[in-house]
């Protein structure tokens, strides 16, 4: 496995290696990331993972400075999975000047849910992903990139960006990896105390109960959502949103769609200082 730190080194390493199967990450890798790498590996000729904590997608009060940086451990895990190339650029490599050109995603998709509570988040994500895509795929004529479905809205936003800019990149969504008890694996789970880890299972539980009753139509959806939010808050959470949306637009379903369209329940909530997100398709 090669570890490279510059775009030029990356392109040299990719030369003649065929079609990349790319997994972008911010490091601090857990079993969820490893599942992405395993899924990606057979989809291309050369497996590339990136590790870069992207300042542009953090709000000033968020955890950019304290976000765990564990490059050596991450590389050992990636090597064990048969990753071929790790791209781990310094900030001065990806952003040699202030990044004044940015990708502005469709507000209908990107200013709701995560975008409502983390303004500018998807601009930061799209901008760095476009740059990572340029680093990995510009010299290879395209390839495939795998994104976890835990960040449901992120995957959708990236998929639309790729469509609208006609990038020759196939976006594959990977199922959510969960711990026993249902907690979705996340780098931010490492911030939780053992008591909080136990409590944290309640988020996937709340989503599950929402999916079990939402289609029955016995109560208006907003009422069900509010009840589920209150139940989660009563367990010590501060809920940002807990809502049922159409899978492909993330808009609220009408009565007919609620009965039969592909839906997803999405939630974001804080337990102590840790903000977690999760979702369940149904
Ligand atoms: O999902 C993530 O870890 C990040 O948002 C990504 C896609 C690596 C961009 O920084």
What is the tens place of the pLDDT at every residue in 180-215? Answer: 999 999 999 999 999 999 999 999 999 999 999 999
**Atom of ligand 1 at shortest distance to CA of 187?**
3
Ligand 1 and 114: CB distance under 6 A: no
Report which of 168, 195, 186, 175 is spatially closest to residue 264, judged by C-alpha positions: 175
Report the alpha-carbon distance of residue 207 to residue 205 in Å, rounded: 5
What is the tens place of the pLDDT at every residue in 55-89? Answer: 999 999 999 999 999 999 999 999 999 999 999 99
Ligand 1 midpoint to CA 91 (Å): 15
Q: Region 253-259: what's the mean pLDDT?
A: 96
197-209 burial: b if 16+ Cβ within 10 Å, else e: eebbbbbbbbbeb
Q: Region 140-145: what's the mean pLDDT?
A: 98
Question: In a mutational test of the pocket of ligand 1, which residue from 26, 52, 187 has the highest number of ligand atoms less than 8 Å from its CB?
Answer: 26
Q: Whose CA is nearest to atom 3 of ligand 1?
A: 25
**Atom of ligand 1 at shortest distance to CA of 125?**
9
Task: Tell me the three state secondary structure of residue 249.
Answer: coil
Report the alpha-carbon distance of residue 241 to residue 267 in Å, rounded: 5
| Three-state SS letters, 85-151 | EEECCCHHHHCCCCCCCCCCCCHHHHCCCHHHHCCCHHHHHHHHHHHHHHHHHCCCCCEEEEEECCC
| Percent of the chain whose predicted confidence (pLDDT) is above 70 | 100
Q: Which residues are catalytic?
A: 33
Domains of the chain: 2-174 (3.40.50.620), 187-281 (3.30.1300.10)
Q: Specify whether the CB–CB gap between 99 and 127 falls below 8 A.
A: yes
The whole-number pLDDT of residue 217 equals: 86
| Cα 135 from chain centre | 20
**Atom of ligand 1 at shortest distance to CA of 158?**
7
């Amino acid at each position: 496995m090669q570890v490279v730190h510059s775009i030029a080194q990356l392109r040299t390493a990719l030369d003649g290696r065929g079609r990349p199967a790319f997994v972008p990450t911010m490091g601090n890798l857990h079993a969820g990331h490893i599942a992405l790498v395993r899924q990606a590996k057979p989809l291309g000729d050369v497996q590339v993972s990136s590790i870069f904590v992207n300042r542009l997608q953090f709000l000033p009060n968020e955890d950019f400075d304290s976000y765990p940086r564990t490059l050596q451990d991450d590389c050992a895990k990636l090597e064990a999975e048969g990753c071929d190339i790790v791209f781990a650029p310094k900030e001065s490599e990806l952003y040699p000047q202030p990044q004044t050109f940015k990708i502005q995603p469709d507000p209908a998709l990107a200013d709701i849910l995560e975008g409502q509570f983390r303004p500018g988040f998807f601009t930061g994500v799209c901008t760095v992903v476009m740059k990572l895509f340029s680093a990995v795929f510009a010299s290879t004529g395209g390839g495939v990139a795998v994104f976890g479905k835990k960040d449901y809205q992120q995957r959708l936003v990236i998929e639309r960006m790729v469509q609208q800019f006609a990038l020759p990149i196939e976006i594959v969504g990977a199922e959510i990896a969960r711990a026993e008890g249902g907690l979705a694996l996340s780098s931010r789970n490492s911030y939780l105390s053992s008591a909080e880890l136990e409590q944290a299972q309640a988020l996937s539980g709340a989503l599950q109960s929402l999916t079990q009753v939402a289609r029955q139509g016995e109560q208006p959806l907003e009422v069900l959502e509010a009840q589920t939010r209150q139940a989660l808050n009563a367990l010590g959470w501060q809920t940002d949103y807990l809502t049922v949306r159409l899978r492909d637009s993330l808009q609220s379903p009408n009565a007919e769609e609620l009965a039969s369209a592909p839906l997803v329940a999405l939630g974001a909530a804080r337990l102590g200082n840790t903000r977690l997100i999760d979702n369940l398709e149904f």
